Amino acid sequence: MEAIAALIKAFLGSLRDLLPIIIVIAFFQLIVLQEPLPNLLSILFGLLLVVAGLTFFIFGLEMGLFPIGESMAQAFARKGSLFWLMVFAFCLGFGTTVAEPALTAVADEAAEVAAEGGMIPNDEVAMEEYANGLRLSVALSVGFAIMLGVLRILKGWSIQYMIIIGYIGVVVLTMFAPESIIGVAYDSGGVTTSTITVPLVTALGVGLASAIKGRNPMIDGFGLIAFASLLPMMFVMVYGMVVA
């Protein structure tokens, strides 16, 4: 019964979160455009599916991914093995990024545009190699980013200076990278922070900071996502320079 009550609560919460979007669309469609909603039943059914999907997604995160991420981070901290903690951090960042649907979509679209623009041969093999190379570059960068973020938590380094240095590196690489890859690189930083990566990486940071004496989960536990967003921009620009 507690699980059902929690599920209903999550459903109502999802509906509340989507309500502003519904109001905006209805306002502009009915008041500004002064046109009825096309296929109203289909839209309502689709909206119900969105709310249900969001509900199960959030419920699943709270039930499964967050607890396992935090418990594994705490277990590695208790084990005291820096090597295996770093291996776990890299594999977590790499694996979750490769599985990101948003990254796959961006990589495939970038491959098609590159082929149409004459940057690569316009055939299936070349486009697949370009897209896979882009995905692997981003996944590797996120793996190293999570390792760097974990090391920051262990050492207690200040995040703001590391982020400033990182963005200086992005600006410098932007001056040398091919113009055609810069936009893709900047977007790659965004698609890594999506539905699969964020929950597990956040749980890792919070769990690790909670298990280490002298670390504040609120101050030290967050910030891994910033590294996961920053390093892909640099790696993709380097990838673009190599391909070019």
Angle between helices 124-155 and 197-211 in degrees, nearest 10: 20
The predicted pLDDT at position 104 comes to 83
The predicted pLDDT at position 164 comes to 93
The stretch 213-234 carries a mean pLDDT of 85
pLDDT digits (tens, 9 = 90+) for 6-46: 777 778 887 887 888 888 888 888 888 777 777 878 888 88
The predicted pLDDT at position 1 comes to 66
Helix (H) or strand (E) holding 216: none
pLDDT digits (tens, 9 = 90+) for 104-156: 888 888 888 878 877 778 788 888 888 888 888 888 999 999 999 989 988 88
- The single-letter code of the amino acid at 177 is A
HSE (side-chain half, CA atoms, 13 Å) at 53: 8
The predicted pLDDT at position 189 comes to 80
The predicted pLDDT at position 3 comes to 67
pLDDT digits (tens, 9 = 90+) for 65-91: 667 767 777 777 777 677 888 888 898
Both tokens of 150, joined, read 């974990």
The span from the CA of 152 to the CA of 144, in Å, is: 12
Alpha-carbon torsion (224, 226, 228, 230), positive or negative: negative
106, 117, 128: which is closest to 188 by C-alpha?
106
pLDDT digits (tens, 9 = 90+) for 146-183: 999 989 988 888 888 999 999 999 999 999 988 888 88
The predicted pLDDT at position 171 comes to 93
The predicted pLDDT at position 144 comes to 93
Q: How many residues does the chain have?
A: 244
Phi, psi for residue 117 in degrees, rounded to 5: -85, 0
The predicted pLDDT at position 39 comes to 80
The span from the CA of 55 to the CA of 9, in Å, is: 9
Taking phi first (over 0 means left), then psi (-120 to 50 degrees means alpha), and beta for anything else, what does residue 121 get? beta
